[in-house]
Amino acid sequence: MKRKKINVAVTGLNAIDSPGPGVPVIRALKESKLFVVRIIGLSYEAMEPGIYMHDIVDKTYQIPLPSAGKASLLERLSYIHSIEKIDVIIPNFDAELYNFITISDQLKKEMKINVFVPTLAQFEDRHKANLSDYGKKHKIKVPFGKVIFSTMEIPKLTKEFSYPLVVKGKFYDAYIAYNMEQAHTYFNKISAKWGLPIIIQEFVTGQEVNVTALGDGKGNTVGAVPMRKQYITDKGKAWSGISIDDKNLLTMTQKLIRSTKWRGGMELEIIKTNNEDYYLLEINPRFPAWVYLAVGCGQNHPEALVQLALGKEVKPFKKYDVGKMFIRYSYDMIVSLKEFETISTLGEL
């Protein structure tokens, strides 16, 4: 079968110790059996390693930070599209999704750029701050949680929580606080980086398991691969993991996608207790950084997302390989100062 040539723009090129999903998404697309993909990297900072991975990223452009707003993003994408003729954009950061969601219709109508992301309602409903209500609505167990806006509220937490408890940011970062002093420290650390509110969550003990999945927006699960973390960094990121056979996890994922009619990629972070209870910790509204494991297990989720973005019917994956591991590694790239200066000054490389 002849593969179709397409141009796909991808964000999340920060393949560092807390990696973005961009590089594994690109690797998955480069292995597509349906498309010959030209990759347009979209970066926020000149130090994102994916910019300089010329074997997988064909051209990179800097785009405005999410805080600059959707008008600035739309203007920059219009310029990039005039050169690259983008077919599909895959955004990979939580913090940027609001802008991409709100301009997706405009991108489609004015530039014929396809973006397959959650609806605004889906994106807002699954926020960490709304997780308790979300769990009740979709009949899924979640740890008890509360939103706070000031350190003055921390002493009062003992009325509803016992230590340890989890302190979370609205977009990223989560720390286990074993006392009030640590809760203060983590509140200040996270709020300085990601703003308010801060989420306080009941600490649930057990085994952490995750699922990368793709919904077609009609209630169908196109693909789902669960994994168990084997090695976790001090930032809580999986540095290695293994695909597992857990029908309860798959049932939980399919039930949630059916109930929400989820549109796009997602990651479920779940605690499996010793009593075989499953608690949903959070929903990330995009592919995880370990999504390439799904490709290794026989399900190319990024390729399927591109098909959906282009309006194609996609048959759900029926199986995946169990017992496949991913092991993340780092290596030193040698980059010329001229390349760094080019992306820093001209905004493209």
Beta-sheet pairing, 4-10 with 35-43: parallel
Q: Is the dihedral of CA 181, 151, 128, 196 positive or negative?
A: negative
Domain spanning 144-202, CATH class: alpha beta
- Tell me the three state secondary structure of residue 1: coil
Give the pLDDT of residue 238: 82
**CA–CA dist 74, 3 (Å, integer):** 30
- DSSP E strand stretches across the chain: 4-10, 35-43, 59-62, 88-90, 145-148, 165-168, 174-177, 198-202, 207-216, 221-232, 238-243, 263-272, 278-284, 325-327
- Mean pLDDT computed over every residue of the chain: 94
> Which residue is associated with the tokens 């989560």?
174
Name the pLDDT band for 26 (thresholds 50, 70, 90).
very high
Q: Residues of CATH 3.30.1490.20 domain(s) within the chain?
A: 144-202
Mean pLDDT of 23-43: 97
Give the pLDDT of residue 127: 86
Give the pLDDT of residue 16: 76
Name the pLDDT band for 275 (thresholds 50, 70, 90).
confident
Name the pLDDT band for 268 (thresholds 50, 70, 90).
very high
Name the pLDDT band for 206 (thresholds 50, 70, 90).
very high
Give the pLDDT of residue 130: 85
Give the pLDDT of residue 252: 95
Give the pLDDT of residue 58: 98
> Which residue is associated with the tokens 């592919």?
287
Q: What are phi and psi of 129, to 5 degrees?
A: -65, -20
Mean pLDDT of 294-319: 97
- Tell me the three state secondary structure of residue 337: helix
Give residue-wise pLDDT tens across range 158-177: 999 999 999 999 887 889 99
**CA–CA dist 72, 220 (Å, integer):** 34
* Region label for 217, one of left (φ > 0), alpha (ψ between -120 and 50) or beta (otherwise): left
**CA–CA dist 339, 194 (Å, integer):** 30
4-116+332-346 under CATH 3.40.50.20, yes or no: yes
Report which secondary-structure segment, H or E, holds 168.
Answer: strand 165-168
**CA–CA dist 93, 270 (Å, integer):** 20
Q: Which amino acid is at 318?
A: K
Count CB neighbours of 218 within 10 A. Answer: 10
Give the pLDDT of residue 232: 80
As a whole-number percent, the residues of the chain with pLDDT over 70 amount to 99
- Residue 235 scores a pLDDT above 80: no
Q: Which of 122, 117, 114 is nearest to 99 (CA)?
A: 117
Angle between helices 70-84 and 94-106 (to 10 degrees): 70
Sheet holding 4-10, edge to edge: 59-62, 35-43, 4-10, 88-90
- Residue 17 scores a pLDDT above 80: no
Give the pLDDT of residue 194: 86
**Are 249 and 270 contacting, i.e. CB atoms less than 8 angstroms apart?**
yes
Count CB neighbours of 40 within 10 A. Answer: 24
Q: Residues of CATH 3.40.50.20 domain(s) within the chain?
A: 4-116+332-346
- Residue 15 scores a pLDDT above 80: no
Name the pLDDT band for 190 (thresholds 50, 70, 90).
very high
Count CB neighbours of 18 within 10 A. Answer: 13
Report which secondary-structure segment, H or E, holds 7.
Answer: strand 4-10
DSSP class of 160: T
Name the pLDDT band for 149 (thresholds 50, 70, 90).
very high
> Which residue is associated with the tokens 């650390």?
189
- Residue 66 scores a pLDDT above 90: yes
